Amino acid sequence: MNTPKQIPDDNLVVIKGLKKWFPVQKDMLDQLIAGHTDYVRAVDGVTLDIHRGECFGLAGESGSGKSTIGRLVIGLETPTEGSINFDGIDFSKLKPEELRKLRRRMQVIFQDPMASLNPRLSLGDAVIEGLQIHYPEKKKEHRDMVLSIFEKVGLVPATYFFNKYPHQISGGQRQRVVIARALVTCPDLVLADEPIAMADVSVRALLLDLMVQLKKEFNLTYLFITHDLATAKYICDRIGVLYLGRMAEQGDLREVYTHPLHPYTHALLAAVPVPDPNLRRTETMPEGEIPNPINPPSGCRFHPRCPIVEAVCSKEEPELRELRPGHFAACHFAERYL
């Protein structure tokens, strides 16, 4: 079912200097009245690789740019600056028709399955749509392909679910349909943007487990976007921590969690509530909240909230440096945490 892949190199996705600025004054008139254009710097210079077969987690608070990076990676947005390579193919050089063909290989799972599914399409029809677009030549096999993917995601009996509508099934089952729809075109990369944030605790564990299983079975690569660091731990191999459109820290998940090298990551990890009343947090939290991305702070963006801030931090923006093999941090004083 899955096409065998040549392995030219380890990286499925290579992102270099990626920027996405959204204009605040959208139309000409607003720009004229304001006399200038402000930009929300949602993503402001991010470089990262996603290895084949791994689950790369992007974590950060709201407004950190994690979802925008996801949308850029699958070509839903065009970058303001920088490049994205998917399997050696540069997005910016593709004609729309070629990009559309490439889309078969990248699929997406969003947070809210009710919003992702058309309420007037039966579940079977919703999943068949992708096949009609990407595999029109296999028309006769479509139904069987959908039934088989339904079974793989645990929607059994598949023929029962095929004719149901989204409102007739539970939230957990709906997210399974969305997963089935993503996988039916045999993608290489799956963008999962907060895929389990809506689900209840007892359903979450099941969905996480399903995603791990399917990753193995279909040889998938995940870009897993989440604000929940505790959940990321159960699925991600590597993780990138974003702050205001910049990568603060990046590396092997276990390494980042046990030896964080950026003060922001320290704070973020300490803030995650632990389900144990005897292990209550004692660390104090940084002051304030995420600043406005239209006018990000000068120098290091975290400096107004940073517990180890020094004079240089407000002047020079720190580079993302490799401080241990494969473990990067963008902090002038990251060595202190080594």
Partner 1 sequence: MKKDDTLIKIRDLTVTYHTRQGLVSAVDHISFNVKRGEILGLVGESGCGKSTMGKALMRMIPPPATITAEEYLFDGMDVMSFNDDQLRDFRGRRISMIFQDPLTSLNPVQRVDEHIMEAIQVHEKKTTTSNALRRAKKLIGRLGIKEDRLASYPHQLSGGMRQRVMIGLGLVLNASLIVADEATTSLDVIVEAKLVDQLREIRDEFGVAILAISHNIALVAQLADRVAVMYAGHLVEMGQASEVFHDPLHPYTRGLMKSVPNIKVDELVELYKMGGEPPNLAHPPEGCRFHPRCPNAMPICGQIQPWITQKSSGHVVECWLYQDDLPKDGMQE
Binding site for partner 1 (CB under 8 A): 61-62, 170, 172, 200-206, 208-209, 227-231, 233-234, 257-258, 267-281, 285-286, 288-290
Cβ-based nearer residue to partner 1, 218 or 257? 257
Tell me how far, at minimum, the Cβ of 260 lies from partner 1, in Å: 12
> Rounded CA gap, 72 and 331, in Å?
26
Tell me how far, at minimum, the Cβ of 252 lies from partner 1, in Å: 14
Cβ-based nearer residue to partner 1, 75 or 166? 166
172-201 as b/e: b if 16+ CB within 10 A? bbbbbbbbbbbbbbbbbbbbbbbbbebbee
User: Dihedrals φ, ψ of 17, to 5°?
Assistant: 50, 40
Tell me how far, at minimum, the Cβ of 327 lies from partner 1, in Å: 18
Cβ-based nearer residue to partner 1, 134 or 204? 204
Closest CA to 193 of 40, 66, 32: 66
> Rounded CA gap, 235 and 232, in Å?
6
> What are the residues facing 40 on neighbouring strands?
22
Tell me how far, at minimum, the Cβ of 232 lies from partner 1, in Å: 9
Tell me how far, at minimum, the Cβ of 259 lies from partner 1, in Å: 13
Cβ-based nearer residue to partner 1, 102 or 269? 269
Cβ-based nearer residue to partner 1, 7 or 279? 279
> Rounded CA gap, 63 and 70, in Å?
13
Tell me how far, at minimum, the Cβ of 163 lies from partner 1, in Å: 20
Tell me how far, at minimum, the Cβ of 218 lies from partner 1, in Å: 21
Instruction: Tell me: cis bond preceding 157? Omega within 30 of 0 counts.
Output: yes
> Rounded CA gap, 142 and 140, in Å?
6
Closest CA to 10 of 69, 58, 47, 50: 50
Cβ-based nearer residue to partner 1, 6 or 282? 282
State the SS3 of 83-151.
EEEECCEEHHHCCHHHHHHHHCCEEEECCCHHHHCCCCCCHHHHHHHHHHHHCHHHHHHHHHHHHHHHH
Cβ-based nearer residue to partner 1, 102 or 309? 309
Tell me how far, at minimum, the Cβ of 279 lies from partner 1, in Å: 6
DSSP structure class, residue 237: S
Distances (CA, A) of 145 to 111, 132, 281: 25, 12, 49
Task: Retrieve residue 275's tokens.
Answer: 């389900």
Cβ-based nearer residue to partner 1, 18 or 229? 229
